[in-house]
Amino acid sequence: MDDFEGESSQNDIFSNHVTAATSDVEDTKAKQIKENLQKYEQLFGADEDAFDQPTTTKKELWSYYLYYNSQQGDNGVGPGSYSQALFQSALSGDGWDPAISPIAKGNCTTGGCVVAWGSGTKSVASVVLIANGICFAVMTVMFVSLGSAADYGNFGRWLLLVLTVICWVFQYCMMSIRHAYQWPAGMVLYIISYIAYGATLVFYAALFPRLSRFMPHVRKAREEDLKDGKISQAEYDKIESLERNHISSVSTAHSNIGYLLTLVINLSVLLPLEGNSFGNNLALCLTNTFQTGWSLESGGSSFSNLDPAQRCRRGAAT
């Protein structure tokens, strides 16, 4: 009887140890899950729309690539370059060499070249620098005051849409600059189109972290694996970082493709029309149309222009 009681006591002690060990494991797991949730909330709690954001689709990703192809690649060596070329060409055509007397507009060669500026004169190079200085000053104020809209909330998509349309319109308007005396109008058109172009790059480049964050496998890793403790925070950071680098690299490749296609279009116009005063205007028209077409083909990026709630409802309906 005593032996039976001793054996029973040992079994109770063993059971208590097992129960305690199991409880310790469960407590450790619960603590780990809690820590993961705290890290998750700390990292992503600032994004108030995080749980409303739909998963990134292939269509949205390719919209991003195509827009990058047109706006970054095409505009960089196409309309953006020709807008400045037409402005500076008109400026030089209305200028004169101060070393040559009497004054004769359009006689600038390798010497100095000035234009009427207020009550005096200013060199062509100075006027171009003033125009560029105004562009960068306005962009600095714009990005300081509105730059955060590119990273938070959904207001940035409307800014991107408006700025893209402004860029198209004013670059098309540059086609009207055909005479030297139009250089003040050309200066205004160039400044507005260049500011809009620079702003579209900033607001669009800010989208790729969000695209990568809501890619299917990245979202699963964050909202399921990380929260359940299947992966560590360092492992998740690596997954998201690799996806960001992937999207960025592919975007850059598409940008270079845009450069190449635009240069081919440029040469196809400029070589046959060599010496034609309207050659630059026609090249501007064709490259701007090419850029606009690519951007419209991309849908202005369905990711940036479609409200997340609408996309969620659309996905639920299907």
Euclidean distance between CA atoms 144 and 123, whole angstroms: 32
Q: What is the mean pLDDT of residues 131-148?
A: 89
- The confidence band for 32, taking pLDDT boundaries of 50, 70 and 90, is low
Q: What is the C-alpha to C-alpha distance for residues 73 and 252, in angstroms, rounded to an integer?
A: 9
**120: helix, strand or coil:** strand
Q: How far is CA 153 from CA 32, 130, 197, in A?
A: 31, 35, 22
Q: Is residue 51 part of a domain?
A: no
Instruction: Return d(Cα 283, Cα 287) in angstroms, integer.
Output: 6
Backbone torsions φ then ψ of 115, nearest 5 degrees:
-130, 160
**Position 190 in a domain:** yes
Range with the poorest average pLDDT among 238-247, 249-258, 292-301: 292-301
Beta bridge partners of 116: 121
Q: Is the pLDDT of residue 4 over 80?
A: no
Angle (CA) 214 216 222, round 5°:
65
Q: Is 57 part of a structural domain of the chain? A: no
- Per DSSP, which regions of 48-162 are E strands? 114-117, 120-123
| Structural domain contains residue 236 | yes
Tell me, what's the pLDDT at 304? Answer: 43
- Please name which of 275, 282, 255 lies closest in space to residue 79, comparing C-alpha atoms: 282
* Residue 283 neighbours by CB under 8 Å, 6+ apart: 78, 82, 265, 266, 269, 270
For the chain, the domain total comes to 1
In the numeric block, the tokens 């900033």 are attached to 202
> What is the predicted pLDDT for the residue at 140?
92
Using alpha carbons, select from 241, 224, 287, 226 the residue that is nearest to residue 39: 226
Comparing 132-136, 284-288, 295-299, the range with the smallest average pLDDT is: 295-299
Confirm whether 12 is domain-assigned: no
User: Does 46 score more than 50 pLDDT?
Assistant: no
Tokens of 217: 């496998």
pTM: 0.72
Beta bridge partners of 122: 115
Residue 307 lies in a domain: yes
Question: What residue has token string 């100095």?
Answer: 112
- pLDDT: which is higher, 115 or 45: 115
Q: Which residue has the higher pLDDT, 287 or 40?
A: 287
Identify whether 208 is part of a domain.
yes
**CB half-sphere exposure, 60, CA atoms < 13 A:** 21
The three state secondary structure string of 254-311 is HHHHHHHHHHHHHHHHHCCCCCCCCHHHHHHHHHHHHHHHHHHHCCCCHHHHCCHHHH
More confident position, 287 or 197: 197
> pLDDT tens digits for 48-99?
444 467 788 888 888 888 887 776 656 666 677 778 888 888 898 898 988 8
CATH assignment of the domain containing 134: 1.20.1250
What pLDDT, on the 0 to 100 scale, is given for residue 315? Answer: 42
- The most confident of 3-17, 31-45, 106-120, by mean pLDDT: 106-120
Domain span including residue 307: 67-312
Split at pLDDT 50, 70, 90, the class of 187 is very high
CA dihedral 227, 233, 235, 239 (to 10 degrees): 80
Q: Does residue 290 contact residue 78 with C-beta atoms inside 8 Å?
A: yes
